[in-house]
Structure 1
């Protein structure tokens, strides 16, 4: 199985908690960490923005990336949310097995 870590940012701690809860409750990820606040500088519509954001670090499998991306886009306040996935090249067998086990969808999830 291929494992990935997905990053996205949101505009508030509340939005981060809501999005993280919906991602994990649908078993699109084994876990989500919310980091922040962070300072983000970026270009948007011709202006340099300097904003406070919260970053979500999402642990999941490559097989769930498309569903996760669709979920983030459908439940995010940004017009173009950051969605960046990086491969987890290696990790402890126990941790990677936990990701596998917790992203298995069941009738109860």
Structure 2
């Protein structure tokens, strides 16, 4: 049985929590995990940048994934957010719980 995982980065835990809460309330995702701050290194507009970021992992069903990604992109504070999705195998009880949460 499969789930869709959605992964993005955000500038801080407060922003991640607000965004996760909106997606949870809309029943687009079943749960959210906010990982501790890390350091992102990247090039933006030709300049080397580094900034602290938190990781946000969201879990949903494949049927709700496109809508969840669209809402995440709409609410995301970055001009060019990283939004990754993948399909993962999960235990049947967890898949059933996720499906119930986003129904």
TM-score, normalised relative to structure 1: 0.88
* Deviation string, structure 1 residues 14-70 (Cα, Å, up to 9, x no partner): 101100100111111100000121111112111221110011000011221221122
Alignment partner, residue 107 of structure 1: none
**Unaligned segments of structure 1, at least 5 residues:** 105-109
Q: For the Cα contact (< 8 Å) 2:6–2:69, is it kept in 1?
A: no
The answer for the alignment partner of 2:96 in structure 1 is 97
Runs of 4+, deviation exceeding 3 Å:
none
* Alignment-derived partner of residue 87 in structure 1: 87
More strand by share: 2
Q: Conserved in 1, the CA contact under 8 Å of 2:8 and 2:81? A: yes
Alignment of 1:1-109 (within 5 A): 2-88=2-88, 90-104=89-103
Q: Tell me the SS of whatever aligns to 1:50.
A: strand
Q: How many pairs are equivalent?
A: 103
Q: State the secondary structure of the residue aligned to 1:29.
A: coil
**Cα displacement (A) at 1:2:** 4.3
